[in-house]
Chains A and B, each alone.
Chain A
Amino acid sequence: MAERRISYGAAFNEAVRQAMESDPDVFCAGEDIGAFGGVFATYAGLQAQFGRERVVDTPISEQAIVGLGIGAAVTGLRPIVDLMFMDFICVAMDQIVNQAAKLKYMFGGTATLPLTITTAGGAGLSAAAQHSQSLEAILCHVPGLKVVFPSNPYDMKGLMTACIMDDNPTVMIKHKRLIGMKAMVPEEPYSVPLGVARIARPGSHVTVVSYGRMLNESLVAAEQLATEGIECEVIDLRTLQPLDTATIVESVRRTNHAVVVHEAVRFGGLGAEIASQIQEEAFDYLDAPVARIGAPFSPVPFSPALEQHYVPDAPRIAAAVRDVVARAIVGARGT
């Protein structure tokens, strides 16, 4: 299998390109994805290759963009529609929640919606409170949507391919700060199955569950903790909905400790759901309450200094892991 080092953004682009080459029903639509190639260049070169009919520059109307995708999908095409920033899903919420997620159900299963919504989430570019959010928990709360959030170029290409091929509405969240991340990616098309997590680093002392950019921060933390004798098992969820609970639970039953890390605010975040599932299915295996690391309950600050403080990082993750696995030195233990 021929591999080369390409970026997270290029891996996304390649997945779209290969899908369009192999399936004439696949087309893209979104703001500035044609001539401009998308604000993060993730659609770069596609309009030149496939023409304006298949890579459509749309007006600034997220409702219309998603609605276009739903209509095209339900009438037989396989659209990819882009919402420039994840914050803008809020504008298109009626189309996403009440139409895309519901149509198959409302039509008794006879409607098929092979729609992929792509968007860019997360902070780290000092893009301020309306262009930096992590709203994945809102999407995961809606039955009828599949939500993926890759942490690296390999998963990006495979998950994007799987999203395009899936006959149900999917949401692909790209993390802005990972666009330039490079890694070895196969040239030929492949897909990473939806709904299957990956053990990114095996370990025996504590299970760290994360995804997206925070997965990489968790790996850095795990590297540091290993030098202190704490072996973290880091799980990359890859797909947030449906959640791969089995992999998490199996790991926690071995390590007896769990820490969930995400960039979204803690309150009502995916960490709450994961912690709940862990206590439901691995309660008798826990040595400590499940810890959650997320952003403070506040809008993302514009100031680079404040933003850096706001977003969780490896030292903060490491500190939380130490608290969970820490053991007091106890006097008078036995004779």
Chain B
Amino acid sequence: MSLHARSLVLVAREFRMPKLGLTMEEGTIVEWLVARGERVEIGDPVLSIETDKVETEVEASAPGWLHQVGDVGSTHACGSIIGWLADSADETPGHSGISGTMGSAQPELALTDTISSVLIASTNPVIDGGRIRSSPNARRLAGELRVDIRTLTGSGPMGRIIGADVLEAPPSAASSRAPDRATPLVEAVSARATGAARILADLLGVDLAHVAPDPIEQRVTREGVAAHVRRLLASIEAAPRPSGPSDTSAPLPPTEAPAAVRRLTGMRGTIAKRMHASLTEMAQLTLTMHADVAAVLAHRSAWREREPRSTPGITDYVIAAVGRALRQHPAMNATVTQDGIVQLADVHVGLAVALRDGLLVPVIRHADRAGLVAISAESRRLAAAARQAALGPDDMAGGTFSVSTLGAFGVDSFTPIINPPNVGILGVGRVRHDIVLDGDRVTTAAGMTLSLTWDHRALDGVPAAAFCRSIVEGLAAPADLVYPRSAR
């Protein structure tokens, strides 16, 4: 048997059912246009086939004497053998021991591998192991033009698909050129990689599309594949078992020789994910504005003399002023959804509370109408609960705006990041005592810088500045913040 097979290598080439388009799976033989044992030349029409779309003629890709395998009316999968092109008319089926092999039910099982290796121009460039023989240039162009290289027929040496085959791709293959029809297949074909990288990726089952290309070589290298696999292994080993790696954004590759590695899980992971999403999804920008807080300081020291235990903090004054400003400027009390900018009915101000290990933003409800006493009591309760990890879900939900204060750490101004789905956040700086010129008189003034970040998708600079101005005005009249306002 094997001896017969070897001799066949030299005398016959398989003739396969062609794949004429992306969606063609099989074809039916309508008519053999060349009789059994007749001589055909390259390009001669050999048979007519019918696909689910069209009836067409198939030409010979090599010269030889035709031996038919498929019968008229029979249906064959693309790539299956429907005939042979032999080097002589003598070795016809039924006339020799060799022909017995060819005529048997599955001749290709014994023959395909050896025969494929001597093909000069096959109708199907798939070679051993399912690899498609294609030039580097063809693969690059296929990626750039989004052509499915598997639908092409190679015209280069050894049946290799070359760049010109991609450029001349027939309409069936070109249908996948539409940029909105990107398929995973196309991505895989388009990944630029060195030969060594492809071999290693094949061996390890790595999808080259997931491996970052070498920045200098501009294609995936063997080292890149190895680093990718090492990283995957490291992340599997380091991940907490079933109790759950978090849904954090994809970890960055570790830097060399880290002093310490802290995984982006739990609260850290949530902060990383939310803050990164905030900056990538919104059009954020920050303005700063000076606020005179002399009145607040005076108000507060008077309060302390009268009622030291309930004295509000500076931040409480700010929250009260923010709440009232939000009521005046509903555009800032909003959220951006797929439907558009949604103005929210209630005003709930989140307060960023720093913890040893992260940050929580509990919410002070109805800050627009709550009085300073209530705000102060609530902010104290929430801060304490946050530090004791005793916040309930209701304490955290529903904020429509946020306030973050770094004044206690000597910060004047900063660029806070919006806590999604809000459209604004106010950063509160430290209280400063500045020397100022009042007319022609030198005096001191207490002030702070407010840093307002807002989402430019929701509102523009002038309304944002007007909102901030309202806060400044609120802080200039602290007595108005003391008493609750009636709900409207």
Contacts and interface: CB of A to CB of B under 8 A. Distances in A.
Contact of A284 (B53, B136, B162): B136
B163 A334 contact: no
Interface in B28-64: 42-43, 46, 51, 53-54, 56, 58-61
Given A326-B157, A330-B155, A287 B123 contact: no
Interface in B135-168: 135-140, 153-157, 159-160, 162-164
Interface string A307-326: 00000000000000001001
Interface string A92-128: 0000000000000000000000000000000000000
A323 B51 CA distance: 35
A327 B156 contact: yes
B172 A283 contact: no
B116 to A, nearest CB: 15
A334 B164 contact: no
Interface string B54-82: 10101111000000000000000000000
A329 B154 CA distance: 9
A39 B68 CA distance: 71
A329 B155 CA distance: 7
B170 A333 contact: yes
B139 A284 contact: yes
A329 B43 contact: yes
A331 interface: yes
A22 interface: no
B154 to A, nearest CB: 7
A286 B61 contact: no
Interface string B110-144: 00000000001101000000000001111110000
Contact of A288 (B51, B135, B172): B135
A332 interface: yes
A298 B18 CA distance: 47
A302 interface: no
A332 B138 contact: no
A330 B19 CA distance: 13
A13 interface: no
A331 B59 contact: yes
Given A331-B61, A334-B170, A286 B136 contact: yes
Q: Classify chain B's interface size.
A: 35 or more
Most chain B CB inside 10 Å of its own CB: which residue of A256, A323, A331, A334: A331
Contact of A256 (B121, B137, B157): B137
B205 interface: no
Interface in B388-444: none
B60 A331 contact: yes
Contacts of B153: 330, 332-334
B219 interface: yes
A335 B172 contact: yes
A334 B58 CA distance: 9
Contact of A335 (B21, B154, B155, B157): B21
B270 interface: no
Contacts of A329: 42-43, 121, 155
A285 B192 CA distance: 11
B20 interface: yes
Most chain A CB inside 10 Å of its own CB: which residue of B53, B162, B173: B162
Contacts of A286: 135-137
B58 A332 contact: yes
A328 B121 contact: yes
B120 to A, nearest CB: 7
B192 A284 contact: yes
Given A287-B137, A327-B164, A335 B42 contact: no
A327 B123 CA distance: 14
B171 A330 contact: no
Interface of A: 256, 283-288, 323, 326-335
Given A328-B120, A334-B20, 16 more contacts: A256-B135, A256-B162, A284-B192, A286-B136, A286-B137, A287-B164, A327-B156, A327-B162, A328-B154, A328-B155, A330-B123, A332-B58, A332-B59, A334-B153, A335-B21, A335-B54
27 contacts: A256-B135, A256-B163, A285-B136, A285-B140, A286-B136, A288-B162, A323-B157, A327-B164, A328-B61, A328-B154, A328-B155, A328-B156, A329-B42, A329-B43, A330-B61, A330-B121, A330-B154, A330-B155, A331-B58, A331-B123, A332-B18, A332-B20, A332-B58, A332-B61, A332-B123, A334-B21, A335-B172
